[in-house]
Amino acid sequence: MSELQRHLKQQQLLPSTRVQYLAIVERSGEEPVEWLRKRLNARTPIGTVLPYRAAIKHLLMSEHGYTDEEVKALLPKAKGRPTAFRHALSPELLAIYHTLVDALPDPSRTILTLLPKTGLRIGEICGLADDNLQTVQGVRSLVFRGKRDKERIVPLSSSAERTLDAYLDSRERVSEWLFPNQMGAPISQHAVRKYTRGIAAKHPDFAGLSPHVLRHTFATMALRRGMDLKTLQALLGHESLETTSRYLHPEVRDLKDAIERVG
């Protein structure tokens, strides 16, 4: 195991994130800072830029001995085109979505049903083990370690609990993973994403559908139903309240409701 691999593991990053960062570093060559500098421009989506910068930062800290402050001074500041705003599914589309997902095979069916009910990231739900499902203070919950080794508890709603229990009752337990593939390893994000891409390709109303849109849908529904930002921040696993506040974009439906209240 290289110093970088060891460092990324110590940072408690998701396995999918570690793989992404290692691939970026491999592409960066012998001059990673210069490689990064050439890719930071106003035309590149900021969602692409940030992983580039994070990967090079971890490389410099793990294999070259730089401190966090030294890295901040050395690396160019991230700049790029804002990521296109992806709307949450409306309640009507969400109902249709669940009908379409019901026809899919497990475990992808259960995962895609749970995403808008839990707000989990696709990498988080694919990597769940059986022991992540726990009862905390009498409440069935998903418990796991998030960024910086912080414990995160996501209680299951009654609907999510029924979905998960139906899956557990029907599956053959072949490994320690909650959602294993046919080889017994955790199901890959790619295996799940192919179904959201398939739905988007066949149904124009679902153009742009992705696991992140489903996470956005959870957050939007939570805010509409009165959940405060601090609670939503804890459920989504955001380190910063500013990150959570990005879900405050009002939808047209919200603007219409506001106008009606004005009279």
Report the C-alpha gap between 183 and 43 in whole angstroms. 41
The catalytic position among 147, 152, 171, 197 is 147
Residue 125: pLDDT over 90:
yes
| pTM of the shown model | 0.66
**Distances from the Cα of 199 to the Cα of 97, 207, 210, 212, angstroms:** 9, 8, 10, 15
Contacts 24+ apart (CB under 8 A), 204-207: 205/93, 205/96, 206/93, 206/97
Residue 83: pLDDT over 70:
no
- Residues 46-75: tens digit of each pLDDT: 666 778 888 889 998 988 888 888 888 888
Q: 39 pLDDT band (50/70/90 cuts)?
A: confident
Question: Could you give phi then psi for residue 209, rounded to 5 degrees?
Answer: -60, 135
Catalytic annotation present for 247: yes
Residue 163: pLDDT over 90:
yes
CATH architecture of the domain with range 91-262: Orthogonal Bundle (1.10)
Name the burial class of residue 161, with classes exposed (0-12), middle (13-18) and buried (19+) by CB atoms within 10 angstroms of its CB: middle
Catalytic annotation present for 98: no
- Residues 214-246: tens digit of each pLDDT: 999 999 888 888 888 888 888 888 877 777 776
The catalytic position among 21, 52, 97, 247 is 247
Positions of E strands within the chain: 133-136, 139-145, 151-155
Residues 6+ apart with CB under 8 A from 66: 60, 74
Question: Could you give phi then psi for residue 237, rounded to 5 degrees?
Answer: 80, 30
Question: Could you give phi then psi for residue 139, rounded to 5 degrees?
Answer: -115, 125
Report the C-alpha gap between 209 and 200 in whole angstroms. 6
Catalytic annotation present for 21: no
Going across the sheet that includes 151-155, the strands are: 133-136, 139-145, 151-155
Q: How many CB atoms lie within 10 A of CB 60?
A: 20
The catalytic position among 18, 121, 167, 216 is 121
State how far Cα 4 lies from the chain centre: 23
pLDDT score at 42: 54
Give the residue extent of every domain in the chain: 3-74, 91-262
pLDDT score at 197: 93
Both tokens assigned to 184 = 């017994």
The catalytic position among 81, 212, 224, 249 is 212
Question: Using an 8 Å Cβ cutoff, are 184 and 174 in contact?
Answer: yes
Catalytic annotation present for 147: yes
Rg of the chain on CA atoms, in Å: 20
pLDDT score at 253: 62
State how far Cα 121 lies from the chain centre: 2
The catalytic position among 215, 216, 246, 249 is 215
